[in-house]
Amino acid sequence: MQLLILGKGKTGSLVADVARERGHAVRSMDINDNQHASALTAANLNGVDAVIDFTAPEAALENMRAVLTHGSRIVVGTTGWYAHLDEMKFLAQKSGALLYGTNFSMGVQKLFRLTADLAKLEGYSFSIAETHHTSKLDAPSGTAITLREIIQAANPGIEIPITSHRVGDAKGEHVVTASSEVDTLEIRHDAHSRRGFALGAVRGAEWLVKKNGAWDFRKICDQL
């Protein structure tokens, strides 16, 4: 496969490394190479099997619009843009393909499922805490928001506080707590490196080839 990686930060660089390890040809661009998606032309996307985006929320929106307009495929690991999700889904249904997710780690996918089970408990209050690196732009994290949505799906109308911390080069920590008068339960995921996110994104790109439409990574991760 020919992959185009948007973003040369810590995660984007690791995505490129993992893709090469898995035998793919890789090109990478940072913001200086691709101001306002200006490099995502039909000519530059010709021969690209999938684009993988780990940039910033506003840049990701511009990148998605350009890629999907040209009928190409894009995997988006960037979060903070979901207010525009319906628009991006509409574009993907017209042409191209979109795979998005608040977290591409398979361990976090298990966290989502364990949280859905925990949320069924009666008589408990729930809270979420998350910690990321100081350069992460969105707070709370997309993963924490997904965890809150999972709990609220089982408990409509309840408030679930999220506490966000930004510390050093933290790779990503999420803790879901359920408390009652008799006990407290916690489910925790602590990323030791960004490799899990990178590997999931590359595997997602491999899955997306020759498909058209829009998918949430949570819905297809069992197919990888």
**Range in 20-24, 137-141, 162-166, 217-221 with the lowest mean pLDDT:** 137-141
Summarize the confidence of residues 36-48 as an average pLDDT: 98
Q: Write the CATH number for 111.
A: 3.30.360.10
Domain that holds residue 175: 106-190
Query: Which pTM was predicted?
Result: 0.90
User: Which secondary structure element, helix H or strand E, spans residue 112, and what is its range?
Assistant: helix 106-118
Give yes or no: 132 in active site: yes
Residues 172 and 205 in one domain: no
Residues 174 and 199 in one domain: no
Residue 139, classed as helix, strand or coil, is coil
Q: Which of 70, 84, 136, 211 is catalytic?
A: 136
Instruction: Give the model's pLDDT for residue 27.
Output: 97
128 and 28 co-located in one domain: no
Query: Which whole-number Å values give the CA distances from 218 to 74, 150, 215, in the listed order?
Result: 16, 12, 8
Give the DSSP H or E segment for 27: strand 25-29
Residue 48 has pLDDT above 80, yes or no: yes
- Is 141 in the same domain as 87? no
The number of domains in the chain is: 2
Choice among 132, 171, 174, 189 that is catalytic: 132
Residues 93 and 144 in one domain: no
CATH of the domain at 46: 3.40.50.720
Q: Does 174 qualify as catalytic in the annotation?
A: no
Q: Are residues 135 and 219 in the same domain?
A: no
